[in-house]
Chains A and B, each alone.
Chain A
Amino acid sequence: MAKITLNGIEREVEENSYLIRAAARCGVHIPHYCYHPALKVEGNCRMCSVEIEGVPKLQTACTTIVRDGMVVNTESEKVVKVRSEVMEFLLRNHPIDCPICDQAGECGLQDYYMEHGLHDSRVTVAEKVKKKKRVDLGPNVVLDSERCILCARCVRFCKDVTGTAELVIANRGSHAEITTFPGRPLTNDYAMNTVDLCPVGALTSRKFRFKCRVWFMERAESICPGCERGCNIYLDRFQNEIQRMKPRVNPRVNGYWICDAGRLDIDWINTNRLLRAEEGGRPIAPEESDREAASALSKGDEVLLVASPSMSNENLFALKKFSEKVLPGSELVGGSFREPWEDDGILRLPDRNPNRKGMEAIGIPTGIEKALATSRGTVLLFENDLLGDQPHLGAKLEGKKVIAFASNRTATVAAADLAVPVTSYAEMAGSFTNHAGRTQPFEPAIRPEGEARPVHEILHRIAAFLGSDLNAASFDALRSEMLEKVSALSMAVPDGREAEHVG
């Protein structure tokens, strides 16, 4: 540890750490744009200039390593003045188009101008250097060159994190701007992280552009269901619709990033949903569908329950309990495993099933091929689209009574005798267990549309019709019971939120 004096208070900080980081850990925020905890330091924006006793000129806190006995002032008259002047330089050519800018509301320029700038512009809009307002850098990222302050976070991200180095600063002086090599667009699988990294409104997401004002949105902490990594995410909602997915910092899982494939896979939550229970295509009330399902199960013939590795631990646990307690003669297997994709060495892992590990821990075996071949009676499919994903298995549903519990309208739902709407991961609380056995909770981001309910609630109702108490109506009680019985699923607490959104 090193001892430094920060704004008159003596502090113990980590040795050899950068001053900006050390100060942040002491709760002292030093304004900055180009610095980002997950990127190499560059010291180009000059916003983090601070006064260090014995050093004649101001030093950038992001490039200065703490020294024992260092006396630092981050709020002296000189520092405050320089900060305001740096702001004036950064805003020299800013188009002040906040009313049409997506970043408005979460913009580093707006925030710091109010805190440290508040100067009158000496430059008229007519005198400002005009640049391109809409540059398609790649399929998912759009650049507004006029808003860019050339902090080069995006450049460093592409150089050091993805190693693809597509983005650079071309030209010089007032004409300097972010660009790709002509004819070589920004296509790497993590490109949209540059939009998060951009402290201003220069880089915007093509998908989210002009969709929603950020101050209208509310966010929920969730887990990306795209692969077994279990990246920590935020789901931002407006008017009960998911507007965008953003990474949530967790150094133990995904650091600061998520992949574009995961981030963009939100449309299915908002579209093509199964909203009402249907029997042979005819809508029926939820009560009726529960009774219908119960009566199909009470006939005493063989029952096959098919779980999915995309279901939450809590729902899987309720299903396991249902099969053991309510239908002791039934068979329960996991099905509908998604095809693997390539491990890209950054975040994506080959297994695209978010909760395979949870399913294993709860004790649901695989082997759907065999189970379907031998089953003769009723088949209950939970979040399984056998006809769509695995048509060769779908054919084996012929002649059986099929009850599909599904969030979306799939081929299987269309063919089922009874289809029951269930909530997606975005509309309920739950948890996934990732590749490393880390069980991570997620919270509901939106209210369920239509008559969709979580699987455990539906199972509880069906059990009641069959004369059993599944004790799965309350989510909290269900989770407690699960945590008690399945010790492998102890809940991980998210950590490392410091310095999350900076500038």
Chain B
Amino acid sequence: MAATERKKTFRFSEKREKEIAALRGRYEYPQGLIMPLLWMAQYDEGWVSPEAMETIAEICETSPAWVYSLATFYTMFELERPIRYQIQVCHNLSCSLNGSESILAHLEKKLGIRAGEATEDGRFRLSAVECLASCGSGPMMQVNTEYYEQLTPEKIDALLEEFGRD
């Protein structure tokens, strides 16, 4: 991920900016703000993106590498975007007989990824998995903790639309 390829920038909300301004006085050096800002970014976005680290570096008057060093030291910081929807399609016997292959193909086409991959924005991850013990209602898939059964391409479209709104 070359710097030029990343077009997105990260900005703290106005509310956060007020909090940051209030925190400034607490630290002798602007670099003292790195830790609270990393925490804020993670709290707001669910993870600390490279863009967030660059913005934090600017605020703290240091290099992004310095922020990266701290962020990687603490295992509590999430540095990869968490997958929002983990889609697992059963490809065992019962589901296969009921057309899980075409369900998987449809999902691959809609999401633009192959089974085993995640979408670029990190929201969806698709995988073909072994039996999920719902053989009477195939083809089926599990999204995060929920089962979706007797799937058809239309059902998939509706579901993806629902997820897309999230």
Chain A interfacial positions (CB closer than 8 Å to B)? 159, 164-172, 179-184
Contact = CB atoms under 8 A, between A and B. Distances in A.
6 contacts: A166-B63, A168-B68, A171-B72, A181-B63, A181-B64, A181-B68
B22 interface: no
A168 B50 contact: no
Interface stretch (B1-9, B37-45, B118-126, B137-145): B1-9
Given A170-B72, A172-B73, A181 B65 contact: yes
A183 B1 contact: yes
A184 B69 contact: no
B63 A165 contact: yes
A169 B2 CA distance: 20
B72 A166 contact: no
A191 B165 CA distance: 48
B3 A169 contact: no
A166 B65 contact: yes
B66 A168 contact: yes
Interface of B: 1-3, 5-6, 50, 53-54, 62-69, 72-73, 75
Nearest to A168: B69
Contacts of B72: 170-172
Contact of A165 (B6, B54, B66): B66
A165 B2 contact: no
A271 B5 CA distance: 38
B62 A182 contact: no
Contact of B3 (A165, A171, A179, A183): A183
A184 B154 CA distance: 45
A267 to B, nearest CB: 28
Interface centre among B50, B63, B65 (most CB of A within 10 A): B65
Contacts of A181: 50, 53-54, 63-65, 67-68
Contacts of A179: 65, 68
Which of B1, B62, B66 has the most chain A CB atoms closer than 10 A to its own CB? B66
B1 A182 contact: yes
A170 B1 contact: no
Contacts of B68: 168, 170, 179, 181-182
A184 B53 CA distance: 13
Contact of B62 (A165, A167, A172): A165
A159 B5 CA distance: 26
Contacts of A166: 63, 65
A461 B66 CA distance: 62
* CB-CB nearest 9 A-B residue pairs: A168-B69, A165-B63, A170-B72, A181-B64, A181-B65, A168-B65, A183-B3, A183-B2, A171-B72
A166 B57 CA distance: 12
B3 A184 contact: yes
A183 B66 contact: no
A164 B63 contact: yes
Contacts of B50: 181-183
A252 B10 CA distance: 46
B13 to A, nearest CB: 24
Nearest to B74: A172
A183 B6 contact: yes
A165 B34 CA distance: 15
Contacts of A184: 3, 64-65
Contacts of B3: 183-184
B16 to A, nearest CB: 22
Contacts of B67: 181
A181 B6 CA distance: 13
A177 B67 CA distance: 15
Contacts of A171: 72-73
A491 to B, nearest CB: 43
A180 B66 CA distance: 9
Contacts of A170: 68-69, 72-73
A182 B50 CA distance: 8
B109 to A, nearest CB: 31
B7 to A, nearest CB: 13
A296 B73 CA distance: 74
Nearest to A184: B3
Contacts of A182: 1, 50, 68
Contacts of A169: 69
B65 A165 contact: yes
B97 to A, nearest CB: 45
A166 B63 CA distance: 7
Contacts of A167: 65
A181 B73 CA distance: 14
Nearest to A166: B65
A167 B63 CA distance: 9
A170 B70 CA distance: 7
Question: Which of A165, A166, A170, A181 lies at the interface centre, i.e. has the most chain B CB atoms within 10 A of its CB?
Answer: A181
A183 B50 CA distance: 10
A180 B67 CA distance: 11
Contacts of B1: 182-183
Contacts of B73: 170-172
A307 to B, nearest CB: 45
A183 B6 CA distance: 10
A165 B68 CA distance: 11
B65 A180 contact: yes
A172 B76 CA distance: 13
Nearest to A167: B65
A172 B62 CA distance: 21
A165 B64 CA distance: 9
A379 B22 CA distance: 73
Nearest to B1: A183
Contacts of A168: 63, 65-66, 68-69
Nearest to B67: A181
Contacts of B65: 165-168, 179-181, 184
A147 to B, nearest CB: 20
Contacts of B54: 181
Nearest to B73: A172
Nearest to A155: B69
